Chain A
Amino acid sequence: MKKILSIVGFLVLLIFNSCMTDRESENSFYLNQINRIQLISSKTIFFSENIVENFNLTVSFFDRDNRPFLNNFDVPYVIYLGDSVIKEPKLDLSRPGKYKLRVMFPTRELTFSNEVEIEVVEGDYISQLVLDFSNETRNEYTLANKETYDFTLRAFGPNGEIPGVEEQIRRNLSLKVGNENGNRLIGVPITQIGLLEVQASVFGVNSNILKINSREDISFPIKEFQVVYHVFSNLFNPSQQTVESQINNSNIAFSGGIRSSFRRNLNAVDAGFRFKMADRNPDGSPMETRGINRIVTNRVFQDAQDRELLQLKFNNLWDPTQYINVFVEDLSSMGAAGYAYLPFLTSPVVGGLSPILAPDTELFYPIMIALDFRLFNGQYRDDNVLAHELGHYLGLYHTFQDCQTGDYCDDTPSHTLPSNQSTRWSNNRTNCSNAPFISTNFMDYINSNDNFTFDQKVRMTKVYENALFMPKDLNAPDARLKPFRRGQLDPSIKPIICNFL
């Protein structure tokens, strides 16, 4: 009887004491799906400093079918540095050496991640320090005391580029620009004139040297032109407001007043040219509609390059030494928004404009600008087409001209147009050395543009001063200019056609 009592008592005790059982291993069916943990450290190389630095870990969990598990979930895991558990991913950088890092999740059988080796190294680990321009300030030419440079600095070790050390580089950087020393890579001002060498130094290691040609901006007297729009009576009669809009935008463009969302170009300048609507006819009488001359014709030209049309325009050209002639046409057969004829010079002051002609040469080509009429009827919206064509008119080439001579302006990086249509209009360009840069020049085909550069200004000024047919009366009213003589049309002279629609 006593035995029975003992057994019963024992059983009852067991039953109730069982309520005290605490579990020690992770038995969750759900959490035990974790089968693999992948650990990636954004940074595996640290330079030795007397600080404790945080590092970022990317920890991914996978189930038995190797599918991502517990995505977008803050999963608590245990971090092991060597065999020690650390609460936070921090490393004492004062102690050089190699450390093994892994994380663990306490599933029933503890699941460990892969092992990541991290190393605290001295400066001599760096085999190469590469200093470069940022994409937005990639230019070997600049203007002193204007825009600031941004640079990039990358450290390379035995295994290639050392990732994630930007912050340490920033803390320990020395940057020498000419004779001046600084400690930053962003917003570096250029205050000296001449050919400057730029070199960075980190942890006792020197970078390559970049060379910057720093010039002083030169202000030329403002040169003003009067512009006459020629419109054909049977095509389209633009309002004065719309034609003035293109003139106004051109004035802002040539004065350097347009701003895009990109940072201002290092060499952006006031180009020193201004434009206004003509208000008098060549005979001196007031124009019926200011700035607009109507050419009466019944002919309809399907081809914008029709020889008869060319002759018609040549015949109706107003004195090119008095006016800039702008024809409003249907350029759909060209697929162009506009085109312009380059000038001829009387002396070889700039490259790319030949042959050099005698000052008394008769007019033999229609020096003019053509704009598609759709720019004025609301079908196309681009306020800078006239500014672009005026750039050609004043002797500028496209910045994407070629990789040999380029556009004859040093401070516009030589490049070509991307063949891929999706990137054709992007401001992100690649120069002829295959380095990326941001283009915002008016003479490029890009979504957003805002500048003429210093070298473009100098070129346009030299062209202006030496061009055969260039309206200079407004700027030198007392000058003794040779009278305009219209000769025979030479149809072989071709304009620069701008297909940026």
Chain B
Amino acid sequence: MKSIQMKKSLATLLFMVSFIMWGFEAKAEILNDSIPEKTHDFRMGIRFSPSLNSFDYGDLSFGQVASDYKIGAALGMSFDWKMSEYNRFRLEPYLEYQNIKNNSINPDLEAITSFSNLSFGLDALPLVLTYGGKYKGTLSLGGFAKYILNSTQNTTLNGNSVNNFNVEVNKLQYGLSFGAGVYLGKRLIEFRYYQSLNDFVNNPVVPNSINQVQLILVF
């Protein structure tokens, strides 16, 4: 399993590098044609983003999503302003459906609490560095806030549903996001890592926050 994951990561890395290089070459061609580039423009697109969600119990390093992740997805808009030659500003409101799971590690006692959240989120990315021509590599840094519109939870103990256990969740989630991707003309592909800065579940024993990686596709 480990070697398969490594191959995947290398393939993805190569894919990303090729996109960035392609963007570099395209920009060079445009400069040679001596066509002046717009200093201010605004783009708007539809944002779709599948995601991997996992809990961080203080046991994950920066950028990590644990192996017990669950899949979610978001749909929204992307508002993208060019601020300078190398910097853009983006606002991305979206509706997100998010699954996340809290597992026991005890091999003899399987306790699982699963959550399904429907939330409204807003990503604000004041620092979007771009470099390149038609295909521009990009790094983004910003913050996010989500308000959980609805959250359901279910706990099982060795496969049997537990009826009298319900944890309290924080409806407002906020944190930082870091992304890397590429503009393909007006389209954008970006991997973005979300590090929540507050606990999702109010728990006196287990500190927890949600880590998330989204593959953001803007059309």
Interface positions of A (Cβ within 8 A of B): 1, 4-5, 7-9, 11-33, 64, 73, 75-76, 106-109
Contact, CB under 8 Å: B67 / A20: yes
B64 to chain A: closest CB distance in Å?
Answer: 4
Does A29 contact B5, Cβ atoms closer than 8 Å? no
Give the complex CA separation of A30 and B62 in angstroms.
27
Distance of A4 Cα from B140 Cα, bound (Å): 12
Check if A23 sits within 8 Å of B63, measured CB to CB.
no
Contact of A30 among B8, B16, B157, B204 (CB under 8 A): B157
**Contact at B20–A5, with CB atoms within 8 Å?**
yes
In the bound complex, residues from chain B placing their C-beta under 8 Å from that of A76 are 106, 108-109
28 A–B contacts, CB within 8 A, in A order = A8-B20, A8-B137, A8-B180, A12-B16, A13-B9, A14-B61, A14-B63, A14-B64, A15-B193, A16-B12, A17-B9, A18-B60, A18-B65, A21-B60, A22-B67, A23-B66, A26-B104, A26-B105, A27-B102, A27-B103, A28-B104, A28-B206, A29-B167, A31-B104, A31-B109, A32-B203, A64-B204, A107-B205
Q: Does A30 lie within 8 Å of B113, measured CB to CB? A: yes
Chain B, residues 48-91, CB within 8 Å of chain A (1/0): the string is: 00000001010111111111110000000000000000000000
Judge if B40 is at the interface, Cβ distance under 8 Å. no
Q: Which residue of B lies closest to A34 (CB)?
A: B205
Contact B57 A27 (CB under 8 A): yes
Of A8, A23, A26, A64, most buried by chain B (CB within 10 Å of CB) is A8
Chain B interface mostly helix, strand, loop or mixed?
A: mixed
- The 8 Å CB contact of B2, one of A12, A20, A25, A30, is A20
Q: How far is the CA of A23 from the CA of B55 in the complex (A)?
A: 11
For B62, list chain A residues within 8 Å (CB).
14
B210 at the interface (CB under 8 A from A): no
Contacts of A7 in B (CB 8 A): 139, 180
Query: What is the number of contacts between chain A and chain B, taking CB atoms within 8 Å?
Result: 143
Residues of A within 8 A of B24 (CB): 1
CA distance A107 to B66 in the complex (A): 19
Per the bound structure, the CA–CA distance linking A64 and B205 in Å amounts to 10
**A109 with B205: in contact, given A13-B9, A28-B111, A31-B109 (CB under 8 Å)?**
yes
Per the bound structure, the CA–CA distance linking A7 and B106 in Å amounts to 37
With A1-B131, A8-B137 known as contacts, the answer to whether A21 contacts B66 (CB < 8 A) is: yes
For B12, list chain A residues within 8 Å (CB): 12, 16
Other A-B contacts than A11-B191, A27-B55, A28-B206, 7 sampled, CB-CB below 8 A, are A15-B65, A19-B5, A19-B69, A29-B113, A30-B102, A31-B109, A32-B205
Kindly list chain B residues whose C-beta atoms are within 8 Å of the C-beta of A25.
Answer: 57, 59, 105
Identify the closest chain B residue to A26 (Cβ). B105
CA distance A7 to B13 in the complex (A): 10
A11 touches B67 (CB 8 A): no
Question: In the complex, what residue of chain B is closest to A22 when comparing beta carbons?
Answer: B67
6 tightest Cβ-Cβ pairs between the two chains A and B: A14-B63, A18-B64, A16-B9, A28-B104, A76-B108, A30-B111
**Closest CB in chain B relative to A71 CB, distance in Å:** 11
Distance of B66 from chain A, by nearest CB (Å): 5
> Complex formed: what's the CA distance from A22 to B54 in Å?
12
Q: Whole-angstrom distance from the CB of A106 to the nearest CB of chain B?
A: 7
Whole-angstrom CA separation of A8 from B20 in the bound complex: 10
> Least Cβ distance of B107 to chain A in Å?
8
| Inter-chain contact B5/A16, CB cutoff 8 Å | yes
Which of these, B9, B105, B112, B167, contacts A12 with CB under 8 Å? B9
What is the CB-to-nearest-CB distance from B26 to chain A, in angstroms, rounded to a whole number?
A: 14
A266 to B157, alpha carbons, bound, how many Å? 55
From residue 105 to 163 of chain B, which have CB atoms closer than 8 A to chain A?
105-106, 108-109, 111-113, 131, 137, 139, 155, 157, 162
A218 CB to closest chain B CB (Å) equals 68
Distance, CA A55 to CA B191, complexed state (A): 58
Write out the residue numbers on chain B whose beta carbons fall within 8 Å of the beta carbon of A17. Answer: 5-6, 9, 64
- List chain A residues, Cβ under 8 A from B68: 23
Is B44 positioned at the interface, with any CB of A under 8 Å from its CB? no
B19-34 vs A, CB cutoff 8 Å, 1 = contact: the mask equals 0100010000000000
Contacts of A31 in B (CB 8 A): 104, 106, 109, 111
Q: B181: nearest residue on chain A (CB-CB)?
A: A8
Report yes or no: A30 in contact with B165, Cβ–Cβ below 8 A. yes
Task: Check if A106 sits within 8 Å of B106, measured CB to CB.
Answer: yes
Q: Which residues of B contact A24 (CB under 8 A)?
A: 59, 105
Q: What is the chain A residue whose CB lies nearest that of B211?
A: A18
Residue of A nearest to B15 (CB): A12
Q: Which residue of A lies closest to B67 (CB)?
A: A19
Cβ of A9 and Cβ of B102 under 8 Å apart? no
Map CB proximity to A onto B174-207 as digits: 1 under 8 Å, 0 otherwise. Answer: 0000101000000000010100000001011110
